[in-house]
Structure 1
Amino acid sequence: MTQESARTPHGSDSTGQGQSGGAPGFTRAQVEALFMNAAREGEAELLARFLDAGMEADLRSDKGYTPLILATYNGHLEAARVLLAHGADVNAQDEKGATALAGVAFKGDLALARLLLEAGAGVDVANAVGRTPLMFAVMFGREDMVRLLLAAGADPYRRDGEGLNAIELAHRQGGAALAQVLAQEQGNP
């Protein structure tokens, strides 16, 4: 939508009520949608401009996604750096309890995981069903991610809502080798 199509000739929105915040010609909801899309698409420079203009770094979508969750899930390292530099909550959880680190662990993006961990991401923050980033890395066979999370202090014995720990999840997924990595990394061969 162009700026001109979003308003009438007198600067009011299509309801004739004027703007409810945001840039001239855009409603607050439109500006927020553009901001969230910039995070999803990894447009770091645009994110920085939004944030410098006062956009909230932890704005939430209707599903509870924050810009940081969207940027990291979609693999955008520079966008994540911008958001973190502007105070984004590294441990924010979406409506299902997932953090940015959980999404990165499941995807296997080591560079983003390191960035989040350096920014203070909780390595054992569980989602609504008790699954931690380590459990997601195990479930999707991300051995390098498993090693990184263990080195950062992840607990392979923490149990999810089904009562399973990361080692048991590895066995259940047919990942005996990954289960062995978990046990060895903890000094229990």
Structure 2
Amino acid sequence: MTFHSTSEKHLIFDAARKGDVDFLKQKIQEGADLSVTDGRGYTPMVIASYNGYLEATRVLLDAGADVNVQDNGGNTALMGVCFQGYPDIATLLIERGANLDAQNGNGGTALMFATLFGRNELVKLMLDAGADHTVRDIRGLTALDLAYQQGNEEAKALLLPYAEQA
């Protein structure tokens, strides 16, 4: 389904933002383009996941939404949920093949977002899923470096054993 007007296009974004699963399913059945982006490069799946809607995210992924799409800044849905702190959605994205080590325009990764924002359950989840703790951002910092900068003792404790093995 090609959107014929801007307002038509915005309806799917609004549904994703509100987690309106029924409306999303209807638009999917009508052949909605799930790769459509807004001005920031967000797709409906990115919006649904960022706003904490597990079922809406699942419906969009089931319909073929790209789990690894990057917005205009290079951020992925996994980065967004690690920033927001949604372990259930992060687990879904990982199960669906999210690139654990994708880097945004600043070189940041989902593991770094989880570390920076004290989402330690997500730090553990990312490490257990195989995220590369040695990735460096554009400043040359790793997730462990960020944990030290933030004074995040729990993240340091989670990341240090990996750093010591390297």
Tell me if both proteins adopt one fold, taking TM over 0.5 as the criterion.
yes
Aligned ranges 1:1-189 → 2 under 5 Å:
27-184=4-161, 186=162, 188=164
Q: Among the aligned pairs, what percent are the same residue?
A: 43
| Distance (whole Å) between structure 1 residues aligned to residue 51 and residue 153 of structure 2 | 29
| Distance (whole Å) between structure 2 residues aligned to residue 131 and residue 91 of structure 1 | 15
SS at match of 2:164: coil
Runs of 4+ with >6 A deviation: none
| Distance (whole Å) between structure 2 residues aligned to residue 51 and residue 28 of structure 1 | 17
Asked whether the equivalents of residues 15 and 21 of structure 2 are also in contact (C-alpha less than 8 Å), the reply is: yes
CA deviations over 1:71-104 (Å, ceiling 9, x no partner): 0000000100110011000000000000000000
Amino acid in the other structure paired with 1:188: E
- Higher Cα Rg, which structure: 1
Measured on the aligned residues, the alpha-carbon RMSD in Å equals 1.4
Q: CA deviation at 1:176?
A: 3.4
| Distance (whole Å) between structure 2 residues aligned to residue 139 and residue 178 of structure 1 | 9
SS at match of 2:67: coil
TM-score by length of 1: 0.83
Q: CA deviation at 1:51?
A: 1.1
CA deviations over 1:16-60 (Å, ceiling 9, x no partner): xxxxx75xxxx5211110111101111011001111101111111
| Distance (whole Å) between structure 2 residues aligned to residue 28 and residue 111 of structure 1 | 34
TM-score by length of 2: 0.94
Instruction: Tell me how many residue pairs correspond in the alignment.
Output: 164
Asked whether the equivalents of residues 50 and 77 of structure 2 are also in contact (C-alpha less than 8 Å), the reply is: yes
Instruction: Select the structure that is richer in helix.
Output: 2
SS at match of 2:69: coil
Asked whether the equivalents of residues 120 and 154 of structure 2 are also in contact (C-alpha less than 8 Å), the reply is: no
CA deviations over 1:52-71 (Å, ceiling 9, x no partner): 10111111111100111100
| Distance (whole Å) between structure 2 residues aligned to residue 116 and residue 148 of structure 1 | 12
